[in-house]
Every structure is written in structure tokens, then in C-alpha cells.
Structure 1
Amino acid sequence: MDHASPMTRWLKGLALTLVVIFFMFPILWIVLMSFQTNETILRMPPSVVFTPTLENYQALITGKLVSSAGVLEIQFMRNLMNSVILSVCSVALSLLLGVPAAYAFARHKFRGSEDIAFTLLSFRFAPPLLVLLPLALYFQDLGLANTYIGLIWVYQLICLPLILWIVRGYFEDISPDVEHAYRLAGHSWFSTFRRIALPLAGPGIAAAGLLAFIFAWNNFVFALVLASADKQPVTVGALAFVTASGIQYGQIAAGIVLSIAPTLALALYAQRYLVEGLSLGAVKG
């Protein structure tokens, strides 16, 4: 039973409202900017009252950016599709490799297992600039420079450690007695893994996959160096809006809105799995 006074509840509601406004205001301002021209955005003092326009989104979709220097060809929609291809493929490959590896680390303790797991985790925290030059040289020798395969391979090195450690902690939270009972009934290890462990670890796998997708989507440095314009994701493609004639703030804002839409939709769709997976699976290991 809630014994809080009306004043206490009102103050809590006010505090919550202020916190939401504080964190959501930048996003709201970006959305408003995406419907304004550069002249409206740069006017002083700024105002939320303006005549909305769809020119920014039209420029992104058609690939023709109109500026004072003329018409500039941009490839934003191709960059957006590149982000989808790279993120989806790298996360799928990381899940394919990382989930069985996480199960093995959780269920089969062997000498050096913790060292191997920590080494894999260290790949995630290594500074990108530390490995960027060697990767660029190796990619040139192997013919992987400016290819989807090469970028997906690099992206999955970012996603795999995250998936491995989150899903491993979730597998460790599952009682092994259920799996032992299923094995005693004559089922194989793979059947136990597929029919028992995977369904029980579903929320953790979904949470790990979503976080890995966000990290892959936001990657910038590797794609900037290892790929040319036709293979670069949206994070690198946004540099096209910084031209010699000025910075196209309206197009940048519209590009931000379009680029965060896929990850925002995924986060809203899988938020239940994300909260459950992080609260249960990521606290161990």
C-alpha cells in the first residue's frame, strides 16, 4: 500500500518529467532540425516556431544535395543499406560462433578456459588505432580491402566478445540439472544444447544480439579506413554533408533521424529481452 502523500507523489512525478525532458530534448531538437533549412537552423535566437520542410529528407532519398556551390551527389541511402548489410551479417556470424562458444565456456571448465575467455574479451577493448594499420596492410595483401567480407570479418571481432560474455553468464544462470536429466533420457549433447539450453537462454541471446548490433551499427574508424565510398556505412557517409561551401545541418539532422531509426525500432521491439537478458545473464562471468 502506498502511504506517500500527494505532495511526495507530485514531486516524484515532476522530477521524473524533468529527467525525461533533459535526456530526450537533444533527440527532439535533432528531429525538429531535420525539418528546417540551414537558414532557419542558424538564425539567432533559435526558435521552435518554423515552417517545416521535407527538403532534407528528399535530398537524402534522391541522393542530390543542393548547396550554394551547386548540386552535390551523395550516396546516403547506399550507405544506409551498407550499414544494414554489415551489421546484420556480422551479428549473425557472431551469434553463430559465439553462442556455442559461450555454452562451452559455461558448461565445460578446462585448463586455461578463463584465460582464453579473457583474451577474447580483450579484443573488444583494444583501441581501434592499435590494429588499424596492420589490418589495412593485411587486407591489401589478402585482397579484402574495400570488400563486404573484409568489413564483416572486422565487425564480428567487435561483436563476438560481447556476445560471448553476455550469453556465457546467462548459460551459467541456467541449472545444469535440467540438461543432465535430458541427457539421461538418451539425447545427444547437440540435441540438449538445441532444445534445452538455447530456449532457456533466449532472452540473453536476444539482448546480446541487440547490443552487438548497436555497436556494429555505430562503428566508424574501421569502415573509414578499410572501405571506399561504395562500401562505407552511414556513420562514414555522413561526412559528405560537410562540404566546402559549409555544413548542411538540416541534412545531417535528417541523416541522424534515418540512421537511428533501425536501432531504435529494434530496441523498442526487444526491450523486454534486453532488460531481462542484462539483469540476469550479464551479472555473472
Structure 2
Amino acid sequence: MATVTTRKEKIIDYILNGVTIIYFVIALFPVVWVFSLAFKETSQILTWPPQFFFKPTLENFQSLFSGLTGGNTGSSTVDFLRNFMNSLIISFGAVIISVLVGVPATYAIARYNFKGKEDLAFTILSFRFAPELMVIIPIYIFFQKLGLLDTYTGLIWVYQLITLPMIVWILRGYIEDVSRELEEACWLDGFGRVRTFFRVMLPLIRPGIAASGLLAFIYAWNNFVFAVLLGGSRTAPVTVGAMQFISADALRYGDMAAAIVLAAIPALALALYAQKHLIRGLSLGAVKE
């Protein structure tokens, strides 16, 4: 009987593993396909049936760096490197300011009791799940009167509607998991509140800061609505700049794929750099005694 049960468990494991592998292949295929398009010539991209084996070329990447895209389908000027730098400036600027503001704000929400605390926390969260189109008109009028349209200052400020709630709500759980007695012991040893915060609390919640900061950066990097309506030719990020590859005469698939590959590098590099903190940050508190 035990042998039959063990055999059934093995069969179930094989089936589950097979389903997992199939799902993984299906989920990963679009990523691999886009990556392959970035190294194909235009003629190879438009060939039917698709070519899975081909001689790779750097023509699409050269077009992006030179600013002249189109190849055989007609050339046009696209300043993708400027769009890339705009995305870096806006996304990093928004995340850095959100971390500087969000960490102390989250500490106050998590540690102190004051009237309207939960209402304030919910209001901050509402900025994240509320539709962007719901607030874009008043923000546009506000920016227009203050001269903030198509400026880095304006876009960095409005991107915090995306990044700040993410940081506050992820970090709140980490701060609440840190024992109050630990802070009180530090106070008894002569540490002030400020010194305890910087010397004790910050090292303990560093994984949470890494995880929330990375997720906030990804959301800011991928934002389109705020950038397309509040930005312009001077501050357009990669999400808006990618629209330049779509024209009336052709769709520049190779250039678009190369742009996607380059645009994925910052988030991937940050994830690899913060991998240890990210894994610990996302799993911390998942299992409690």
C-alpha cells in the first residue's frame, strides 16, 4: 500500500513539474522572442515562417546609438539615448526623494499614535491604486500655471505619486516587526531617538528599503501616462520615446526590440546588485513564530 502511495506521489510530482516547465516556457517565450528580434535584420524579422536560427547583428543597436533608425524601411531621427537618460534622471530622482521622505514618514506612522493616522496612511495608499487619469487634469492645470510642464522638477514631483506609496506601505510592516523594546533599550543606554533611528533602525530595515526602492523604481521607469501628458520633447522618457518607432510608413520592430532590451538593463542591474537584500526584504516576516 505504501508503495502504491509513493508511486502516485511521484506521478503527481512529475505532472506538476511538467506543467511548471510548460508554463515557464510559455511565460519566457515573449522575452526570448523580443531579445532575438533585437539582433535580427529587418528582412529576417519580416520573414514567414519565423527564423529561430539566424546570424545575429548589432545593426539595431547601432541605429539607436547613432540616432538614425529605420534601416531598409526608411530612416528617421530618434534620440533614444536622451530618452534613456531622461528616464534615469526622473526615476532615480523620484525614488531618492521618496526614500528620504518616505522612511521617516513610515517610521512616524508605524511607531506613533496620533489622530487620523490610519486615514493618512490610507490617503497615501490611494495615490497608488487611484487611476492616473483621474488626477491628470488638475495636475496638468496646476503644472501649466506654475510652468512645470516638460521639466524634470515637475515629472520627478508627480512620479512620487507612484513611488512614495509603494515605499511607505512596504516599509511599514518591516518597522512594525522591529521590537519596541530594542529601541527602548537603546534609549536607556543613552542613545537619543535620532541616533537610535540611524544606528539601529535603518540597518534593520535596510532589506525593506532595498525591496521597496527597487519596486518603486520599476513602477516609475514603466510609467507612461504622466510622462506623455506632462512631459515633452525635452524630458520624454523611454516609454514615450518608444512611440517614435511607430510611423505611418512602417513599424520598426528591430529598433523597438533593441530599445526594449536596453530599457530593461537598469532594473535588471539594480535587481542583481540588490539581490541579497531584495530576497530577504520580500521574504522577511513571511514566517512568524
How far did 1:16 drift? Answer: 4.0
How far did 1:276 drift? Answer: 2.2
The 1-side partners of 2:116 and 2:66 are apart by 55
Is the contact made by 1:66 and 1:72 (CA closer than 8 Å) also made in structure 2? yes
1:172 to 170, 176, 181: 176
The aligned counterpart of 1:41 is 45
Q: CA RMSD in A?
A: 2.2
1:60 to 41, 57, 64: 64
How far did 1:108 drift? Answer: 0.4
Deviations along 1:207-253, one digit per CA (max 9) or x if unpaired, are: 00000000000000111011112201001100010012110001111
1:184 to 171, 188, 193: 188
How far did 1:63 drift? Answer: 0.5
Paired residue secondary structure (1:144): coil
**Equivalent residue pairs, number:** 283
1:230 to 222, 234, 243: 234
Show the 5 A alignment for 1:203-222.
Answer: 203-222=207-226
Is the contact made by 1:173 and 1:280 (CA closer than 8 Å) also made in structure 2? no
Q: 5+ residue gaps in structure 2?
A: 1-5
Is the contact made by 2:38 and 2:254 (CA closer than 8 Å) also made in structure 1? yes
Paired residue secondary structure (1:39): helix
The 1-side partners of 2:193 and 2:169 are apart by 21
Show the 5 A alignment for 1:22-33.
Answer: 22-33=26-37
In structure 2, do the counterparts of structure 1 residues 3 and 112 end up closer, same or farther at CA, with 3 Å as the change threshold?
farther
Is the contact made by 2:42 and 2:72 (CA closer than 8 Å) also made in structure 1? no
The 1-side partners of 2:23 and 2:182 are apart by 44
1:163 aligns to 2:167 (yes or no): yes
Paired residue secondary structure (2:70): strand
- Tell me the TM-score normalised to structure 2 length: 0.91
Is the contact made by 1:145 and 1:226 (CA closer than 8 Å) also made in structure 2? yes
1:112 to 111, 116, 120: 116
In structure 2, do the counterparts of structure 1 residues 24 and 70 end up closer, same or farther at CA, with 3 Å as the change threshold?
closer
The 2-side partners of 1:200 and 1:92 are apart by 19
The 2-side partners of 1:67 and 1:239 are apart by 17
Show the 5 A alignment for 1:128-139.
Answer: 128-139=132-143
The 2-side partners of 1:155 and 1:201 are apart by 24
Is the contact made by 1:170 and 1:282 (CA closer than 8 Å) also made in structure 2? no
How far did 1:195 drift? Answer: 0.6
2:254 to 232, 250, 255: 250
How far did 1:67 drift? Answer: 4.6
The 2-side partners of 1:100 and 1:192 are apart by 13
Structure 1 vs Structure 2: percent identity of aligned residues?
A: 51
The aligned counterpart of 2:3 is none
1:197 aligns to 2:205 (yes or no): no
Deviations along 1:77-110, one digit per CA (max 9) or x if unpaired, are: 1000111111111000000000001111111011
Is the contact made by 1:79 and 1:233 (CA closer than 8 Å) also made in structure 2? yes
Is the contact made by 1:166 and 1:282 (CA closer than 8 Å) also made in structure 2? no
In structure 2, do the counterparts of structure 1 residues 70 and 3 end up closer, same or farther at CA, with 3 Å as the change threshold?
closer
How far did 1:11 drift? Answer: 5.3
1:266 aligns to 2:250 (yes or no): no
The 1-side partners of 2:128 and 2:281 are apart by 20
